[in-house]
Amino acid sequence: MARMPTIYMPHGGGPWPFVSLGLPAAELAALRGWLEGIAGRLPAKPKAIVCVSAHWEAPQATVQTAPKPPMLFDYYGFPADAYRLSWPAATAPAIAARVRALLEQAGLPSAEDADRGYDHGTFVPLMVAWPGAEVPTLQLSLLSSLDPAAHIALGKALAPLRDEGVLILGSGMSFHNLPAFFGRGPRRPDAALDFDAWLRRTVVLSQVEREAALRTWTEAPGARYAHPREEHLLPLHVVAGAAGADPGRVDFSGTFGGQPISAAWYG
């Protein structure tokens, strides 16, 4: 079975592909086009997807186990159509059990959540990438500790899934300063670009250098401007940990709301 890559993807803001946010059409088209192209560039159709979304945190790594997860509309202030979206994917019980077994083997505590729905960090980009919802998909939470080393370790534990036909996705945003997006805080374009440049350099480093840089990401130029809180960056730590020694590349670079965003692809 071909080894699956691991991918850190920007999921944009709210239900952006499906309602008008008043953002430049060109930047939205670029991100949408990249997401639409993911499936066709994989070595095979995934047996399942494990998605680590920035919008779910738990004290322990928690696996979504509802057979048909509901939609979790964890955004507000959008037109009514944004709350009628449907992405009827199913989870994969065998994969959920495998995830927990791998975490246990690595000495990492885990839990299950049979009620959790697909949050917009998962359903929004995957409605674009897999509109038919044909690939079984389950979410895995971030750790509420937000510890970077712990998230790299989480990815390392999941790495065997890649050789079992499972695609590991990290859904976040490489820039996530909401006041800057909405014009409610100071705009520091140099700091945003500095952090994006650091991230782009880090993605392509060797495994040892990459993991060291990610563990100390707060020392990067512009780090806390780009991420006042790090939940949208940590999915990168998970997919980088799962990448092992595989090389990485910056697979997408664009803007969202005028701010720089990048995606990473390993393998």
Q: What is the pLDDT of residue 185?
A: 67
The answer to whether residue 91 scores a pLDDT higher than 70 is: yes
pLDDT, one tens digit per residue, over 204-246 is: 999 999 999 999 999 999 999 999 999 999 999 999 999 999 9
Query: Which residue in the block uniquely carries the two structure tokens 């509802």?
Result: 66
Say which residue the tokens 């895995």 belong to. Answer: 140
Answer yes or no: is pLDDT of 34 > 80: yes
pLDDT tens by residue, 100-128:
999 999 999 999 999 999 999 999 999 99
Q: Which of 263, 231, 244, 198 is nearest to 52 (CA)?
A: 231
Supply the angle between the helices 148-158 and 234-243 in degrees, to the nearest 10. 40
Residue type, 108: L
Q: What percent of the chain has pLDDT over 90?
A: 94
Q: Which residues of 155-171 are buried (b: 16+ CB within 10 A; e: fewer)?
A: bbbbbebbeebbbbbbb
Give the residues across from 61 on adjacent strands. Answer: 110
Domains of the chain are 6-13+21-179+197-260 (3.40.830.10)
- Which pair of structure tokens corresponds to residue 252? 């997408």
CA 262, CA 132: separation in Å to the nearest integer?
A: 26
Residue 72 and residue 86: Cα distance in Å, rounded? 10
Average pLDDT in the chain:
96
